[in-house]
Structure 1
């Protein structure tokens, strides 16, 4: 009868075999594909020979070392399996699964304490609930309590950049300067597990973003957020209920206070695909000269996501309904339709490329009064983004990003803010913990 460890290892690692990726060398790619085919046919010796040929041809992808380790393990060549899995420990996206597999290898080599250390590391570092559960199954129950996992996770990001049209772009509508400037940016975000675990528990979340322009100080922005999230998993569905408050300043003065309630449902369709449904209700309190923005904002959306080791794709739609106080001669209560597409490629071991695009149509519910008469405002916004990321030592990431935005309006003659273009270039250094 197969052991639990033997059953689980192919289940996890075969995912990388089902989604092979293009490699830098044509010969390595060809050998890798032949190895995939041989593995699927359970011809392990032949598969291993092809994977080794791909490695010798210069292929250097995490998926190759996953597959090498799996083939070595199933053939009983445990020291070689260990060396293959150890190659993945420096890759953030692969480290948790690598620790789990190294634990299985250590057990085969009769190294129980080393195995426990790897299972503990997998449990602490895994974001994937499947890996967390598998690692927990390999440890005594007393070791899988909340005390064995860090209750805190977060992100710190520092960066700067240049905009050729400094623009405040809250959800309520753009305010543009028509002027260029450089900026500095700092972001900190954290989550603390108050009760239970990420699948069944209560979390405290907080974040802060500071945007400081060199000359256009009236566009300096601060975003503060704090709230609670309750998570629950049942079968293929994961349900999140959240409530949080935002405090936003503009040019050092209060801009908006927002209280939001959110319902988020996620369903795993396959091992690499999921469907997300989301609804948010926000109560907005506009400050000072922005009191007309006070009111409610509702959003409902659906998103489909595919995520494999080397490639990711997200696409979705969101409907937004606003009911604001409005101005005497202008509506700030649009109904909006947003469609978006985001994709990610892992080019090499430490490099990633991200591309994103979105289209938003807004129709305001009451007519605007203009010199030409009453006109119902309609806007279209197109946005495109491209990013390049590089993994650095000490769990750091460096990011280069370019963003293009164009907003068109049928009443641009009434206010120059309604129609604009902006190009933003940014560089950031991030650390997750």
Structure 2
């Protein structure tokens, strides 16, 4: 950061000279203190000048520069943002906002500021500085010199669920409760470049083993290919994957999916968009699931702290038809979700996740006797998850999660709830 602070000081001096002769006493004393390296005194004098009614662009710029020297990045960003639209000094302020974003590790936002600075700056000096930064980011990523190693994630857990099969709340139906084991392994291998620009293979394998041997063993796997490519200040990836889901040894579904993702970093949070279109083929006894599914999701998040999101899911399936019975498997779903996470210390972290989902089915159901439901099915499903993680070291962690799931429907036979407790161990390599 020392080099950046030197660059900041030089730009600061370029800005203050025109106001030296006409500035207030506090303003002049602030400039003198800054040039002597006494940034606390400089800040005090500049703030007194502001309190006295000085609202010049140059004062706000100098306040931003002083806060930066004191490592008050949020305050520095605030003052530079105030003058980012100024015709004369806005380009310089945007350039400095880019430097602050770099210091905060917000590379996408930094690049966006540099692009704005290069366009808006009135002097060739600032334009050249901004272009050099753009070249540093985009030029380097355009020709990745080394391949990112990728990762492997492994997890194993033991869970208890008081309604393993999500049996409807009906006294005539038996509810299965019990324990099960889960194992997951997933990974990514970069064929070229890295997560910013390059290509990668990713794989996923999951298995659930109920303690009750009368219940189905569940297995899922997928293999995919992705291209990662920056678009201005956005990061994007485009991919294709093939997956399958099995119940015991029988295929439940197979799918071919196309994915598109984009992310953009603002000053305090990230915006992430993604879409997945899946072409689905049901197994021999599940052909009513044949069709397609599209999921579009938007998320705002501060990684490791909070997340808010919305997802819309569209389905067009063959549906279940066995004259005269008809059951729709083509709902349109709307999902809202949020998560809060907090680290208690370096080892212990906790999180809370809440989710609500509305499912609307397009056609009324018909039972086995030919009776049509008086209204189309509508389901509200609520989920609450409370989790904790204890980091044993940089590789291994213990985790636990308590979940409550509740589904309410306007049709009889679709109300259910479950409570689940999970404990496990995971590792990332």
TM range (shorter): 0.5 to 0.7
Where in structure 2 are the equivalents of 1:350-389 lying within 5 Å? 350-370=347-367, 373-374=372-373, 375-389=375-389
For 1:265 and 1:365, locate their aligned partners in 2 and report how far apart those are by CA, in whole Å. 31
2:215 maps to which residue?
218
Among 292, 301, 305, the residue aligned to 2:297? 301
Q: 1:400 to 1:290 in 2, by over 3 A?
A: same
1:399 maps to which residue?
399
Q: Deviations over 1:120-168 (max 9, x none)?
A: xxxxxxx9868xx99xx8xxx9xx9654x65231201111111111137
Cα shift at 1:280: 1.4
Aligned residues: 306
1:411 maps to which residue?
411
For 1:145 and 1:263, locate their aligned partners in 2 and report how far apart those are by CA, in whole Å. 22
2:252 maps to which residue?
255
For 2:6 and 2:182, locate their aligned partners in 1 and report how far apart those are by CA, in whole Å. 48
Which has more radius of gyration? 2
For 1:184 and 1:203, locate their aligned partners in 2 and report how far apart those are by CA, in whole Å. 30
For 1:410 and 1:352, locate their aligned partners in 2 and report how far apart those are by CA, in whole Å. 39
Relative to the length of structure 1, the TM-score reads: 0.63
Task: Tell me the secondary structure at the aligned position of residue 167 of structure 1.
Answer: coil
2:189 maps to which residue?
192
Question: What are the ranges of 5 or more consecutive residues in structure 2 without an aligned counterpart?
Answer: 9-37, 42-67, 72-104, 112-132, 168-172
2:224 maps to which residue?
227
Where in structure 2 are the equivalents of 1:257-336 lying within 5 Å? 257-270=254-267, 272-307=268-303, 312-328=305-321, 329-336=326-333
- Note if contact 2:199-2:228 (Cα within 8 Å) is conserved in structure 1: yes
- Note if contact 2:166-2:417 (Cα within 8 Å) is conserved in structure 1: no
Task: Tell me the secondary structure at the aligned position of residue 235 of structure 2.
Answer: strand
For 1:409 and 1:263, locate their aligned partners in 2 and report how far apart those are by CA, in whole Å. 33
- Note if contact 1:298-1:321 (Cα within 8 Å) is conserved in structure 2: yes
Q: 1:177 to 1:238 in 2, by over 3 A?
A: farther
Q: Deviations over 1:220-245 (max 9, x none)?
A: 21110110111111332111111111
Question: What are the ranges of 5 or more consecutive residues in structure 1 without an aligned counterpart?
Answer: 9-40, 45-70, 75-126, 170-175
For 2:243 and 2:229, locate their aligned partners in 1 and report how far apart those are by CA, in whole Å. 24
Cα shift at 1:197: 1.6
2:422 maps to which residue?
426
For 1:384 and 1:184, locate their aligned partners in 2 and report how far apart those are by CA, in whole Å. 21
Q: 1:187 to 1:6 in 2, by over 3 A?
A: farther
- Note if contact 2:186-2:203 (Cα within 8 Å) is conserved in structure 1: yes
Cα shift at 1:246: 1.1
For 1:187 and 1:419, locate their aligned partners in 2 and report how far apart those are by CA, in whole Å. 30
Task: Tell me the secondary structure at the aligned position of residue 286 of structure 2.
Answer: helix
Task: Tell me the secondary structure at the aligned position of residue 287 of structure 2.
Answer: helix
